[in-house]
Each structure stands twice: as C-alpha cells, then as structure tokens.
Amino acid sequence: MAALNLIPIPISEEISREEFQKGFAKPNKPVVLKNYSLGWPARKKWTFEYFKSQHADLMVPVYKEAFANSGTSYTSTDNKMLFGDYLDLIATTSTHYRMFLFNIFKHIPSLCNDFFYPDIIDRYLTKYPFMFFGGATSWVDVHYDLDLSHVFLTQFYGKKRVILFGPEYSNYLYRHPLTVSCNIDIGNPDFECYPRLKEAQGYECTLDSGDTLFIPTGYWHYIYYLEGGFALSLRARPDSLTKRLLSGVKIFNLTILDHHISRFLGVQRWYNMKEKMAVNTANKQPKLL
Ligand SMILES: O=C(O)CCC(=O)C(=O)O
C-alpha cells in the first residue's frame, strides 16, 4: 500500500537567533525545538488540575474533525460544555472533542505571565496567543492558517503526531480554491482518488510535552492526538510584505467570496465544484516523482 512521502522534521536541542533565522525562518522550513519551554513557569503550573481550579465553570465551545465535509470548516463548533467537564473527559478517555483556537487569556489574563515569546523571531501577534486542547484519538484535518502567520506550537501535556506540507505542494494536496482546506484525509489517504498526493514531500514528527514546533507561514498541518493533552500557539507575522498582503486576500476569499458563492449556489453544489477544480488543477501539475 502506498504511503505518504514524509521525512522527519529536524530537531534542535539548542538554537541561537542567527541559526534559527538562517536555517529555518528564512528558508521557511519547520523545526522541533526540543524542551524549548523548560524555563517557562507554565511548564510546572499548567496542569489539568490547575485549569480546573481556575475555570471549571466556564462554558466553552468544543469541536469535532468534520472539516472535510461540505459546508463545515475546521473551526466549526459542534457543542458547548463546561471547561471542567471537558478537562475531565480528555484526561480520562479517548474522545474526538477538541478545543480549537481557544483564547483562554481573555478569561485569565495572568496566564500570559507564564510563558515567553521566543526571541528568535519578531512581529508576534501578542493579542492572539491561543490554546488547543484535544482528547486521545482526536485530530485536526489538514489545513493551513488563513492569516499566514508563523506558528510556534508548544506542547504542555500529551503527545501528538504532526504532519506538515509546504505551501508549494498545495495543488498536490488538491486544495479547494478560495479556501485553506482540501478533501484529503491525511490520516488515511485515498491515493486512488488523489494520486498526485504521493508526489508531495511532507514532514512528520511526534511532538512531546516541553517541545515547541515551528510551523512556517503557509504550511499545511495535520495533527493527531496520540494522548489527551494541550498546547499553546504563539503566532508571528511573516517578514515579507507580499505574504502579509496575500493573507488579506486569503481572508477576503474565504470569509466573503467563498461564503457568498456558497450561499448563492448552495453549499453542496459549490463544494462539488471546488472539488472538481482541485482535481483538474492537481492533474495539470508537473510530475515530481
Ligand atoms: O494542536 C492543535 O490541536 C492544532 C494546532 C493548529 O492547528 C494551529 O496551531 O494552527
């Protein structure tokens, strides 16, 4: 059976700003920064018990992974529950429920004192530190981030498998036009339907607690929770002005254009059209293997 074409994400035990800039930020390549968060107060403080003691009664949105279905987005909410109940759920059982892009810092601003912005890059979006929580066996469908920011994803609890593809492979991933998504199930890829996917050269790693993964701007990411746990994402705007303008275009395309066309044509019809366009575009790409 064919498999995805993946190589391990390089791991760095210690890195200077210059090494990071030259080796990873400038060439837009991912890296795992091993134990990067060891000196942060959050390492010891942020536990299931601690979060429960702070905000067990907060009503929070939870998500499933039905991103590839027509009319859904990877940020579509499926349910609401008490934060305390949700934490108990992911600490004790396998569940597909995740909390996606949760700005817990709006509710508990003092948590911002528990971590540091890595000084190996500039232009952090300091208003938008987000947390992600997930139960064992949950996953995040493959997508790239609409705002085209660089992401530092720091794992605090539990392990997750991460698969990345650079933006140059978007057409080999059958990207749906105007969106940041596609119809491919990276965890169980269907190469008969999507043969060009085999040509995309991706990366993989298992992210462990304490580690920080640098996901460069525009990278597609798929995440599978091997264990229940949580992570923090810190985001930085890319240096390039073109990328920053492009992110404005992408936000417009997805939130306005795609939305209106979908309303006009009907969700399913527009989805089928995007899928057809994605297949046509993929079939026209140069052979890489
Ligand atoms: O770790 C996760 O659950 C999702 C992370 C993610 O998609 C992101 O940082 O953009």
User: What is the rounded distance in angstroms from the CA atom of residue 205 to the CA atom of residue 113?
Assistant: 29
Cα of 231 from ligand 1 centre, angstroms: 8
pLDDT band at 72 (very low <50, low <70, confident <90, very high): low
With a 6 A CB cut-off, is 238 part of the ligand 1 pocket? no
With a 6 A CB cut-off, is 221 part of the ligand 1 pocket? yes
Helix spans in the chain (H): 17-20, 42-45, 48-55, 83-92, 241-252, 259-265, 267-283
With a 6 A CB cut-off, is 223 part of the ligand 1 pocket? yes
Using the predicted structure, report yes or no on whether residue 67 has a pLDDT greater than 70: no
With a 6 A CB cut-off, is 68 part of the ligand 1 pocket? no
User: Phi, psi (5° rounding) for residue 288?
Assistant: -105, -15
Q: What is the atom index within ligand 1 of the atom nearest the CA of 132?
A: 3
From edge to edge, which strands make up the β-sheet containing 212-215? 11-12, 31-33, 212-215, 150-157, 229-236, 130-134, 98-102
Using the predicted structure, report yes or no on whether residue 69 has a pLDDT greater than 80: no
Q: Ligand 1 test: best mutation among 63, 95, 101, 132, most atoms within 8 Å of CB?
A: 132
User: What is the rounded distance in angstroms from the CA atom of residue 126 to the CA atom of residue 129?
Assistant: 6
As a whole number, the mean pLDDT across the chain is 92
* 218 Cβ contact partners less than 8 Å away, ≥ 6 residues apart: 28, 144, 148, 166, 167, 243
Asked whether the beta carbons of 129 and 232 are under 8 A apart, the reply is: yes
Cα of 147 from ligand 1 centre, angstroms: 13
Q: Residue 81: inside a domain, yes or no? A: yes
Q: What is the atom index within ligand 1 of the atom nearest the CA of 231?
A: 1
With a 6 A CB cut-off, is 151 part of the ligand 1 pocket? yes
Cα of 242 from ligand 1 centre, angstroms: 24
The pLDDT, as a whole number, for residue 68 is 44
Q: Of 204 and 147, which is predicted with more confidence? A: 204
Q: Ligand 1 test: best mutation among 144, 207, 233, 235, most atoms within 8 Å of CB?
A: 233
Asked whether the beta carbons of 134 and 177 are under 8 A apart, the reply is: no
User: What is the rounded distance in angstroms from the CA atom of residue 3 to the CA atom of residue 202?
Assistant: 11
The number of distinct structural domains making up the chain is 1
Q: Residue 5: inside a domain, yes or no? A: no
Q: What is the pLDDT of residues 97-151, one digit of tens each?
A: 898 878 888 888 899 999 999 999 999 999 889 999 999 999 999 999 998 999 9
Q: Residue 160: inside a domain, yes or no? A: yes
Asked whether the beta carbons of 85 and 98 are under 8 A apart, the reply is: no
Which domain CATH number covers 127? 2.60.120.650
With a 6 A CB cut-off, is 145 part of the ligand 1 pocket? yes
> 274 vs 24, 36, 69, 239, 271, CA distance in Å?
33, 40, 12, 31, 5
Cα of 132 from ligand 1 centre, angstroms: 6
Global pTM reads: 0.93
Q: Whose CA is nearest to atom 8 of ligand 1?
A: 233
Range of the domain at 33: 12-283
Using the predicted structure, report yes or no on whether residue 76 has a pLDDT greater than 80: no
The pLDDT, as a whole number, for residue 131 is 93
Q: Residue 172: inside a domain, yes or no? A: yes
User: What is the rounded distance in angstroms from the CA atom of residue 207 to the CA atom of residue 153?
Assistant: 9
Q: Residue 36: inside a domain, yes or no? A: yes
The pLDDT, as a whole number, for residue 66 is 54
Q: What is the atom index within ligand 1 of the atom nearest the CA of 233?
A: 9
Q: Residue 7: inside a domain, yes or no? A: no
> Would strands 201-207 and 139-143 be described as parallel, antiparallel, or unpaired?
unpaired
Q: Residue 3: inside a domain, yes or no? A: no
Q: Ligand 1 test: best mutation among 140, 207, 225, most atoms within 8 Å of CB?
A: 140
Q: Whose CA is nearest to atom 10 of ligand 1?
A: 145
Q: Residue 79: inside a domain, yes or no? A: yes
